[in-house]
Amino acid sequence: MLHRRGLLAAGALGGAALVASPLARPALAQAAPVRIGMITSLSGPGAYLGQDIRDGFLLAIEQGGGKLGGTPVALLVEDDGLKPGQGKQIAERFVGNEKIRLLTGIVFSNVLGAVLPDVLDAGAVYASPNASPSNFAGRDCHRNYWSIAWQNDSLHESAGQAAQNLGHKRMFLLAANYQAGRDAIAGFRRMYKGEVLGEIYTRLDQTDYAAELARIRAARPDAVYQFHPGGLGIAFLRQYAQAGLAELVPQVVAAPSMDSTTLAAVGEAALGMTVGSHWNSDFDVPASRAFVAAFRAKYDRLPTYYAQQGFDTALAIGGAFRNGGADLADTEAFRKGMLKADFASTRGRFRFGPNQHPVQDWFMLKVERGADGKPALVTKAKILSDHGDAYAAQCRL
């Protein structure tokens, strides 16, 4: 209930810079830029996720000299404060008053659920850089709705597959008590075939996990899977290590529980964890190496996978523009262009499945000491190839 709302000064600055760059070229000055509306979380406990998506997206535009796929663009950024109602208001303004035809940016599934119907009813396009709940991948899929990230469950399926590959027989599962937490455990169990000793749903406002940690110690599992995004995970991991469990019971988690920002905040406590992910900053893909270097040079921090998704979303939109979709009055032309997935993804292989969600490879990462002695996420092995999602079959497009 207590989050801040407001327009972000940095977003406005970024927008101003983008408008300025096409003006520098007189030949293009008469072509009005395509406006893209970004609704994302820049305040509240999930603020760094939205910040990374925005910064990744802005980096792609900057590298294109203010253009995506050769078309000048202007990005408008607004903060949803992790509140569905606030996101819906912004969306109504974007598609109603501002007549924006392309939206992106939402971090959290509950905000997306409130925003998406308005966007699609107005005939506009939404390209998701993160939140991709199951209903919009299956029954409620739509020609104007795209996910460039993954379907929510896939993250946790990759963790389940990693636990299966590592040969863990008895596991203890924990997740925050909300829709994504329940989806997480369902996704994990889809791939993990061993015994589940216990499932705990923790409160979303919980800061102390001592009671749960004592239960894990008493159950003596081979490994623990847990889903606690952002600050919740930081508190959980610190307390897990302080309770001496890190040496006794290894953790296998999905990317949202262990990104590079979480890792920096947790430090040594994360050593030895296994993470299932679709991308990591050490990927040996030329596009990825260039992206990581440019991001570090511009923002002076390691990009999380959220930043990478923001970047890839901008590139995917650029691909659609390049392939005849630059006029968003014709969303079918945009769709044809987008379906080609004509861009050099930082993940390497990337294509869209029949429900316009990614089909991609998944990898097992491990937290190890890097060359500088600090803990770092290191890519170990590919665990799933050309993996789509479980809901594509329900989608009729």
- Contact status: 186 vs another protein (CB under 8 A): no
Q: Which residues contact 250 (CB under 8 A, 6 or more apart)?
A: 222, 223, 224, 272, 273, 274
Q: Chain centroid to CA 268: how far?
A: 25
Q: 4, 143, 170, 296: which one contacts another protein (CB under 8 A)?
A: 4
Q: Work out how close the CB of 283 gets to another protein at its nearest, in angstroms, rounded to a whole number.
A: 22
Q: Work out how close the CB of 193 gets to another protein at its nearest, in angstroms, rounded to a whole number.
A: 16
- Contact status: 110 vs another protein (CB under 8 A): no
Q: Which is nearer to another protein, 50 or 64 (CB)?
A: 50
* Host H or E run for residue 36: strand 34-40
Q: Which is nearer to another protein, 84 or 348 (CB)?
A: 84
Picking from 346, 342, 343, 341, the residue whose alpha carbon sits closest to that of residue 286 is: 346
What does DSSP say about strands 351-352 and 358-369: parallel, antiparallel, or unpaired?
antiparallel
Q: Residue 127: beta bridge partners? A: 104, 146
Phi and psi at 185, nearest 5°, equal -70, -40
Residues between 41 and 100 that touch another protein (CB under 8 A): 42-45, 47-48, 51
Q: 40, 63, 128, 262: which one contacts another protein (CB under 8 A)?
A: 262
- Contact status: 385 vs another protein (CB under 8 A): no
Q: Work out how close the CB of 205 gets to another protein at its nearest, in angstroms, rounded to a whole number.
A: 5
Build a one-symbol-per-residue string for 205-234: x at contacts with another protein by CB under 8 A, - elsewhere.
Answer: x-xx-xxx-xx-xx-----------xxx-x
Q: 177, 193, 351, 381: which one contacts another protein (CB under 8 A)?
A: 177
* Host H or E run for residue 39: strand 34-40
Six token digits for residue 174: 């924990």
- Contact status: 342 vs another protein (CB under 8 A): no
- Contact status: 289 vs another protein (CB under 8 A): no
HSE (CB half, 13 Å, CA atoms) of 303? 32
- Contact status: 239 vs another protein (CB under 8 A): yes
Six token digits for residue 96: 């109603």
Q: Which residues contact 389 (CB under 8 A, 6 or more apart)?
A: 137, 150, 151, 153, 154, 353, 355, 357
- Contact status: 301 vs another protein (CB under 8 A): yes
Picking from 155, 180, 386, 182, the residue whose alpha carbon sits closest to that of residue 252 is: 155
- Contact status: 302 vs another protein (CB under 8 A): no
# chain residues binding another protein, by CB under 8 A: 46
Q: Work out how close the CB of 239 gets to another protein at its nearest, in angstroms, rounded to a whole number.
A: 6
Q: 65, 201, 282, 379: which one contacts another protein (CB under 8 A)?
A: 201
**CB of 319 within 8 A of CB of 341?**
yes
Residues interacting with another protein, by CB under 8 A?
1-4, 6, 42-45, 47-48, 51, 177, 198-203, 205, 207-208, 210-212, 214-215, 217-218, 230-232, 234-235, 238-239, 242-244, 261-262, 264-267, 301
